[in-house]
Chains A and B, each alone.
Chain A
């Protein structure tokens, strides 16, 4: 078993009110999320000695700025550029620094005007992409500029080889939309989805229609990680970091050259070994869901269903409440909102703390959960949490 297993815990989670148009800046939203996470943990801003943040194309606020306006002076701040799986990456960094004795309590946040500001899914400036994106000159001239298209290229080959159908994608969406109907803070609460409607919705980019794509919104989330010994002094029930595969990569940076491989394929062995558990031990999940197919592909990568059987696994209702792997129980990024993965982690923490006990939102008696992150076929990361 790994040396870091269960020696650090998540003790606070918080968010702002998600919306289509925040009317405010990422700094204001991050302050709200951070204050809520501190209140959840029963900590004060001065208790933080580290603050970390991730962003894409400068769409957030720097952690030093957040620290200043929280009224604290942490000794360590860090801002990284990254998308999905950066939550897992930064939690791993925090764990390492805490275990090395350099830090004690770290706040990690993601804040983005994902709807009213820069939209990840709607494409980027073409010249920026050709200069900044590896091999951009070999994809941009052909109109390939959106994750919808990049990931769709992987999805179509994978579906062709494994027999996954459009209906199987629909089962992922319908399962998560069902969860959103129990979550008043889900953006698509009050907007349930059935298979007939799903299948009748035209594609934006094959195989994805609007329901297969996450809901881009203005939102901020924050998470507080501290040592297990310090967690005893917090107000909340600690959720321990039991195992991690903080970051894995595709074998080629120009990942479109090899569409049969995804970075998540390389994470499972390290993840389960570090936690000392198997896929069948996991009781609740946060599976990165920027697109429906990404969930199916990761279920295969992380060993929840065999290649070729993933479609049947979701069609049988296993992602729903009462299934073998209730996943994205707040609605996921497909129907709750998109905070680049962090909102799914907030929900996983709340499930493992049994915050919903006595309601139909609680995954009964769950003790062990997985969170998977996906920046793309190129970058992944995952962690196992336990109460």
Chain B
């Protein structure tokens, strides 16, 4: 018998350029890459700064109290990847970080009624433990 708890969805693939982001996520923290030359955040992380081309980059820990607003979103009624068939409809957002709205982070808005989602609504980051050693950053609607 297959284990009911097996995680079917794609698990973020750690790479040379992005592992610091995902390692921090596993600790329920947000860590962003930043350009050492022009101080711009780089998200998603990469081998150099897309703004100025500098290869000198560093990492900044933003912690676990992360807020943002919905910049755009979709509500998907069909699964296009394994695992999502259990959670329809799926809400996916591109959220603008309150700390720097130029930084957009894509994730689901979980535990929400899609009717409550609209552009501009406030969000709070949460982390969902998906395996023994991996956690996935997600958004929830910020209440109140």
Contact = CB atoms under 8 A, between A and B. Distances in A.
B119 A204 contact: no
Interface in A109-154: 122-123, 126-127, 129-131, 135-146, 148-149, 152-154
B81 A153 contact: no
| Interface magnitude class on chain A | 35 or more
A156 B106 contact: no
Query: Which secondary structure characterizes the binding site on chain B?
Result: loop
Given A149-B92, A206-B74, A206-B76, A144 B13 contact: no
Given A153-B92, A205-B74, A141 B11 contact: yes
A142 B87 CA distance: 11
B44 A135 contact: yes
A65 interface: no
A141 B18 CA distance: 14
A121 to B, nearest CB: 9
A interface secondary structure, majority: helix
A205 B106 contact: no
A154 B79 CA distance: 19
Contacts, number: 108
B12 A205 contact: no
A129 B107 CA distance: 17
21 contacts: A123-B80, A126-B81, A126-B82, A127-B10, A135-B44, A138-B44, A139-B106, A140-B81, A142-B90, A142-B92, A143-B83, A143-B90, A152-B74, A157-B71, A157-B72, A205-B78, A206-B75, A206-B77, A252-B50, A256-B106, A259-B72
Given A123-B80, A137-B18, A154-B72, 8 more contacts: A141-B136, A143-B76, A149-B80, A156-B119, A252-B50, A256-B106, A257-B94, A259-B104
